[in-house]
Structure 1
Amino acid sequence: MRLTQIKLAGFKTFVDPTTIHFPGQRVAVVGPNGCGKSNVIDAMRWVLGESSARQLRGESMQDVIFNGSGTRKPVSRASVELVFDNSLGKAAGQWSQYAEVAVKRVLHRDGESAYYINNLQVRKKDITDIFLGTGLGARAYAIIEQGMISRIIEARPEELRVFLEEAAGISKYKERRRETELRIRDTRENLLRVDDIRQELAGQLQKLEAQAEVARQFLDLKKQLEQAQNLFRLFKKREAQALSERWQREVQRLTNELEAATASLRQSENQLEQVREGHYAASDALHAAQGDLYGANAEVARIEQNLQHQRDNRQRLASRVAGAREQESRIVKQHQEAKANLEHWREELAVAELRREETRERLEQDSDQLPLAEQHFRDSQRIYADLQRDLNEARQTAQLEETHRSHAQKMVQSLQARRARLEQERGALPPFDAEALAIKEEELAELSEQLESARYTQETLQEQLPDAETARREAGQAVQGARERITKLEAQLAALRQMQNRLDHGKLQGWLAQHGLDGLPRLWQSLAVADGWDDALESVLRERLNAVLVDDLAQAGDWLDEPPPAPLAVAAWHSSPASGREVGREGNSPPPGLTPLAQYVTWRDGVLPSWLADSLANVYVAQEPRAALAASGDLPSGAWLVTRAGHLFGRGGVSFYAPQSELHGVLGRQREIEQLDGDLHNCLDQVAQAKTRAEQAEAALANIQRELADWRATISDLQQRHHRQQLDVQRLAQIGQQVAQRAAKIDEELREVAEQWEIESENIAEAGNTLEQAQYQIESLEEQLEAQREARAEAENRLNLQREALRGTERAAQEADFAERGCRGKIGELEHFIQTLDDQLENVHAQLEELLEEQQSADDQSLQMELQEALTAQQDKEKALAAARNNLEALTTQLRDIEGLRMVHEQKLNPLRDQVGEARLKEQEARLAQEQFGAMLAEVGADEEALAPLLERSAKASTLMAETTRLDNEIAALGAVNLAALEELEVARERQSYLEAQAADLNEAMETLESAIRRIDRETRERLQATFDLVNKNIGELFPTLFGGGHAQLVMTGEEILDAGVQMIAQPPGKKNSSIHLLSGGEKALTALSLTFSLFMLNPAPFCLLDEVDAPLDDSNTERFCELVKKMSENTQFIYISHNKITMEMAEQLVGVTMQEQGCSRVVTVDIEEAIRLKDAA
């Protein structure tokens, strides 16, 4: 891309819209001090994204907006636009397709700022991306402002490194690395959030599993309830089906009777239909007779109307004949007047033709005189323009020489002030304090030792930190695991206790509370049964297993008047224990090999109470049901064998046990509750121990972190002190160097001032002589110009008079032509009007003849005869109508008699229809009930074939209803059930799997991003190293070219190229300086230029901006600088500001910036090559 123009409006001193063109590769911006030249450089930096007002020589960003002058008001906005030629398509991104790219920035005084590319509003980042890696930017090496040369060469290593990175084009790599680091940080945060959610979800899963178990029990009972309900529905469906079939048979019988009665009705209806058809025919005949009568009446009325119309027509014809005669007389009169006007206008036409011939002759004479007057005026005008051009050239020459003399005089004044300032500055240079420098260096060494010791301690603590964090994390995980186990145990205990507590509810709850028994223990709470014999004990004790234990059984007498509403057992809590007597019937020994059930039962407070031992007497255990059945015949009277399943075998029969009450499983649940209580206490102890370990690990970690933070603060304080001390040492050393360098620089500048003084004095004298010659030439040309101005005015006056005469003759000729055309138009109109009147008169004559003929043909005798015939036909039609009306009345009487007979038959059908309808309603009611219960079965998807065998065993509706009620009660006993627990558990497990996968994806993303960071670092390192080597090679070639010898190179300040700074080492010819700060101002400028141009050779920017970089150079160095710029301008466009004549001579175009109006800059452009061609042509 090449910069073609810059547009400024309201930016600093460029208040008016200004366009500066840059057509060549070397463009110099020149002008006196303070005219606004550097504002051009500031404008380019500003539009490229500079956001620091200090870098733009202002206090705030609002300072770039024109703030007014003595004659101008402030403006509200500033805008700068750079226009680039992109015909080669080198612009970045989507803008490469445009042949021209315009970058614009607008700032309003209210602070609103906007960027545009090709008039499309974009972000600041888009502007930066276009020039990323090209050397262009707000602070890139392609824009070098005043004082920046010294700042480049004296920059810190990390600041100088920025220029090397821009040349290497790794700005985009740094941006990609920064974005990747942000993604890594976001990924870590997401991973932490996912881990937290996973831990929280694990606790939720334990709770949901307990709730899901209760939900499964509910669903099982619900399934049994649905089966019972389906059996009931099937029973009702079959019952409704039988009822429907009985009513169908009744409907068939009643329908047969109804059909017989209907046949008699149909016979009467057939007779009625025959008579009705004859009635319809008589009615049609009556209507036809009425129609004929109406037609005869209409014919009579029509003839009478025609007679009246003929009388009216005779009157109308007489009136039209009178009107036609009146119109004939009016047309004849108009025809005579039109012929008289035609003769008048023919006479006017002859006069107009004569006048037109006369004006044409005068017009030809005046037209011949006008070209002579015009030629005389053009000759006078050409002579006057030549004199005016010569006078302007002479004035420009005088003004230019006056400018040269004024500039030389200002330079002399500036040199005088500069010499006085230099002499004053030399006398004010401070002495160098070497002793203070030595003290500062000793203090710096001491701080370095302290800082190294603190860093070693910090590294030791940093190594201990991961172990402490691991210990804290493991302790926290142990606490979390114990808490999860506690949560699971508590959920199981809550479910079991809830089932146990339901035993106290029901019909007995109010009665127990009323008598103060609701808080007493139950028998099953004091029993312990051997594992596997719970059902056996339940089968033997039945409801007594849930007996209420009281202190004194005598109080049961108080309940006899108000017994409990449901079965209830009460037992004494402290009855006498069973003695060592045999368990069995007194006086009878148990069969050998049998074990009493009481040996499997344990009383929690000691020996079994006597009443419980009596309840278990004569009950023995059997391991196998078949063995019990075989041994039951040998049992003594009253003895029983019980199996693990609870089945009882006696001498006279077998009692099969099945769980039917809420007491089932109460002993097993109680045993499980006790075991879970023990496990819960153990887990609580484990949580307490884990918490102690976690607190200890947390305290250890906090102690390490606190010490680490303290040492970091100490290191930070030492680093700041060390940095300040280092700056003080450098400042003192630099002061000494700067004093010596400045003294030498002042001497050199004083010599330059003396030489320049002589040159400017000669320029003043030379400009004065040239100015006198130009003023003499101006006076002579002004006299000649005044004489020629009078001659030109006289020729112009004669030309105007001749033109006015010609215009008068042309107007007279036009008027004559208009008069002639007017007369001819009037004659044509009158001739046409006469022809029209002739045609109208002929039409009136023809119309009058037609009216007279029509008047003679009007006669009404034939109409009178037609009227008499119509009246005769009307009387005949009236007689026919009377005969048809008599026939219709006779048929109507016969029809009425038959209709009465039909109604008698129809009334007999109504009772039969009601009976059929009622029977059908009954049948439909039964069928609807059948369909309703069938739909219920179909809705729940019941299999009727599978239900039919079950229905045969319980074919009573009451039995089915009782089963449904029992299942409803069991479902109600479960209490509140979270039916969504199963689904929630499945969803939670799916979410857990999803989170596991997400965590794996995040870990994989972390690895990918870290790999990208390593790849970016590797590519950056390679590009930076290659660029460093090439720049060093270019510096090795350019530095000797600019200095005429010597050596310079770049060195890294560290081993890692990604973090190391860059330092410049330069040794001009004959010098072996140890620091670049020892170079003179001119040497520093050349060194900085060699570095900048080395970067350009590696990565040429589209253009380079130089602001008075040649100021510290002498003529010989300036010439070498110019030769180098000319060579590099083949690839890079150079736009520079300079006061040096040698540098100005190098330019292809000069852009002059002036400030004729105080505070407002204007631009004057001069093409050097075009100026040379004009001079050679002159």
Structure 2
Amino acid sequence: MRLTAIKLAGFKSFVDPTHIPIVGQMVGVVGPNGCGKSNVIDAVRWVLGESQAKQLRGASMADVIFNGSTSRKPVSRASVELTFDNSDGKAPGQWAQYAEISVKRILTRNGESSYYINNMHVRRRDLVDIFLGTGLGTKTSYAIIEQGMISRIIEAKPEELRGFLEEAAGISKYKERRRETETRLNNTRENLIRLEDIRRELGEQIERLRGQAEVAREYQTLQSELKATQQLLWFVKKRDTESSRLRYHGQIQQTQQQLTGQVDALRGIEHELDTSRNAHQQANTALNDAQGAFYAAVAEVSRLEQAVRHLADTRTRLHAQAEQLSGQQDSLMRQHQDMESSLADWLQRVADTELNMEEAALALESATDVLPEIESILQTTQQRVNELQRDLAAAEQARQVNETHLQHAAKTLQQLNIRQTRLQHEQGGLPDEDQTAIESIEQALNDTAALRDELAEQFEVVQHTLATLEGQRQPLRTQLEQHTRSLHQVEGELAGLMKVQQHLTENVSADAWLARHQLNNLPRLWQQIDVANGWETAFEAVLETRIQAIAADTSTLDLSDIPAAGISIYDGAAPHAELDACALPRLLDKVTVKSGGAGALQDWLSHVFVADNAEAAAVAQARLPLGAQLVSTEGHIFTRHSIRYYAKSSGTQGVLARQKEIERLSASVAALHEQKSIASTQLSSIEAEIGSNQQDLATLRSQLQQTQQQFHQRQLESVKLQQAQERTQQRRAQITAELAEIDTLIETEQNAQMDTEEQLQQHREQSAQLRSHLEDARRARQDAENLFNQKREQQRQLERKLQEIRFSAQSAQSKINDLHNALKVNKDQQQRLIEQREEVLGEAMALDESTQSIALQDAVNLRQQAEQNLALMREQLEAAGTQLRQQEEARMALEHSLAPLREQLENLRLKHQEAELLEQQCEEQLQLLHADQTELAQRIAQGAKVTGLNNEINRITVAIDALGAVNLAAMQELEHAVKRETYLQDQVNDLEQAIATLTEVITTIDSETRELLAMTFNTVNQSMSELFTTLFGGGRAELILSGEELLDAGIQVFAQPPGKKNSSIHLLSGGEKALTALSLVFALFKLTPAPFCLLDEVDAPLDDTNTERYARLVKQMSAQVQFLFITHNRITMEAAEQLVGVTMQESGVSRTVSVDLEQATRLAEV
């Protein structure tokens, strides 16, 4: 690739868009100090992905954005774009198909950084990958030499120099792959550790779930028993309740019949009682009538007596009232005269007011007639003003719209021309379609797919075989684990019992005596006998401490040497004698002697007999011979006249039973060892087969993964190529359509622009004319408005005056009306007083006392007759009441007899209803329990009782409660956990295989890297030596490794210019260091030429002679590498094929200018 252009905008001092064309192979950038030349180097480094602000001479990344100057404001973003010529197709990956590649980076002040390749948004890593291994890396770039960097290279640490060599060797790609592989390896190991932790926790969970599952199964069994018992309980309750319901129903029928008979008798008595009540009611009604007539007669007599007295009082009152009415009549006549006089005055006032009101009305009418004409003139002038204002506003709006349209059209045409130029340029740079590449990739893709399918079939076969073996291995593992657990458990029990037995043979106080007599290693009695099952306790109770007796020759014992503790010694060689026959079984019959000691046991046990239990011993106690003993299985000892109860307090208690258990456990241990050995052998065989298959599976998996990766890679390449060609075709068609559309839009905009300019001129002339007319109309409207306001004010004054006159007239007329009404009322009052006086006098004359006296005598006679009739009616009512009470008492007695029957019937009905409800409840419970009542009827026992079933339910409930908290999901969780354990084991196997594969990949990468780095080291070392000799005209230089391992070793530079024997590079001068560093950098370039090389004032410390050598070397290497260098040196400028000048005429703003050699010389001399 070759750099063809650099574009900057808003980057540091390059605030304006700046285009720097790169034409030749040697391009020099010149200009005064501080004008921004080094910013070009920073821009290139920044666009290639630099992320450290200090490498760009800034404190933060935002410092690369133009921050303003004395005459300019800060900008919001910075952008840099590099354009490369890729006609030779050396760009890596998919970018090789493009003849031109543009790399662009944009940074905004909010920190958003965007990368683009050929205007496609990409990641930073995608951009960095293009230049990876070309010397343009972001960390160890030897193709971009900034100010002061040339001396830092030669004085760098060995580790830093190794970085430059690695970049030149192109192993940065390998290091990136190795880093990614190590990351995946570390992640895989962490995942494996996590999986192991999960497996361990899962194993503990499985053990816990197994116990919970067992409890859950027991819980479900108890729940089933509880449900069955509850069904039986409810069925029995239903059966008993149904029997009770039928019994209550019969009792209800019988009681109902008795009650019906009693009710019929009550109905007859109630009928007679109704007849008596009617007769009593009629008698009571007659009494009330008679009593009413009597009270009326008494009231009439009283009234007539009072009327006679009232007549005298009324006559006196009427005469006094007539005199009072005469006085009131005289007063009203005087008031009438006064009101007639006042009425005449008010009538005169009304006549004067009407005359004034006519004059004011005429004046108002005259003023009102003038107003409409003046108002019409005002409205006409206002309408004219409004019309002219609307016309003027429309004209102004049209003018503004036209001006806006003209501005928009100009801007649109400018944008269309720019867009047209850009699209034409882009259309010319689109690549042609390459069908051959697509067919080649498709063929490779098909071949890879066929190989992948073949490997997949082999993988499935091996995987199926491995799954079968895994299925066989798990039961064997389980069986082996069970045998191991059982063996450990049995061995633990055996060790515990043997320890207890061993403890019995230890006696500190007797050990010394036994050792002196050489008896300490001899077996004890309990080790030499075999007691029948169940009789161990009886033997221990009889023998007591003699169970620990030691078999020895008693004749050899020194009887003077008495032990400190009790010890029993028996003669193991004593003969066995025949015993007399006896009806009772002997204790000797329950023991078998293994070796020696039968005679001693006869001495001790010949008189001891046995009974199965204490009751049998008590029965046989009386038949015992003198001195004999009878022992039960519990250890109780009976003689003819005594009983000694056995107590478990002796240290030898249980020794025989433990010995038997030890022998049984020893046999179990041997059997378990044999079973474990068989299971282990089978498991080892299966695991060997599994290991072989796993190895085959891993090989196939690796091959399949590699093939799959190749398939995906080729598939991706095919898709990318097809997409690239599709994008190119789509883009070409899109550009063609856009160009045609742009031509149409340009023509349309130009025509519209011409029309708009003509309309704008017309609207401007129209607006000026309308403004003149509007001023005239406004003056006419003001005159009409002043005249109208004057006439309107005059009219309002006349209206107020007329209103006041009318109000006065209305007040006078209201007063007149009030007087007329008052005169009429006075006259009416006088007439009423005359009529009232005449009426009062007439009433007084009409009063007559004789008529009232006759009526009073007749009323007294009627009162006496009514009193006699009332007494007769009272006698009849008393007789009817007596008969009614007798019948009521009979009814009450019969009703009292009905109450017990009704109460009994109600109780029976309640019991019947209760039985029905209970029966219904039982039926509902049976339905809830999904009970089959036919089956329950067959299962139920004849005498089954509710109490017994309740006791059974309580027992089951207690058993369920004893289980405690139950995890009902334990069985499902256990199954899921076991499946998950298997799945995790598969994952562990895959991870272990992945670790092995990744480790092998890292080893391969290290081997390839070591080989490539060694070859690069030798080549660069030789090239550096040659270039050093060229630059210095002699001397020698070489690279020296500072370690044995090439991958980790540092690199040191050893250089001796001609005539010098310096031992260190630090002893060289600045110029010598610069030339030495250049020989190293150019040696790297000869090995791996970068697309371009940027040199920032590297010739500053050189004299003219060395500068000429430097310039010649650069010109010589420019055949393979493109150089862009910043310099102030005239000799270096002369060697350049193209010069780019950078100036800062405006403070803080850099610009580029064309520079010829003479101008560059003058600038250098400044």
TM-score, length basis structure 2: 0.39
State which structure, 1 or 2, has the greater radius of gyration over its C-alpha atoms: 2
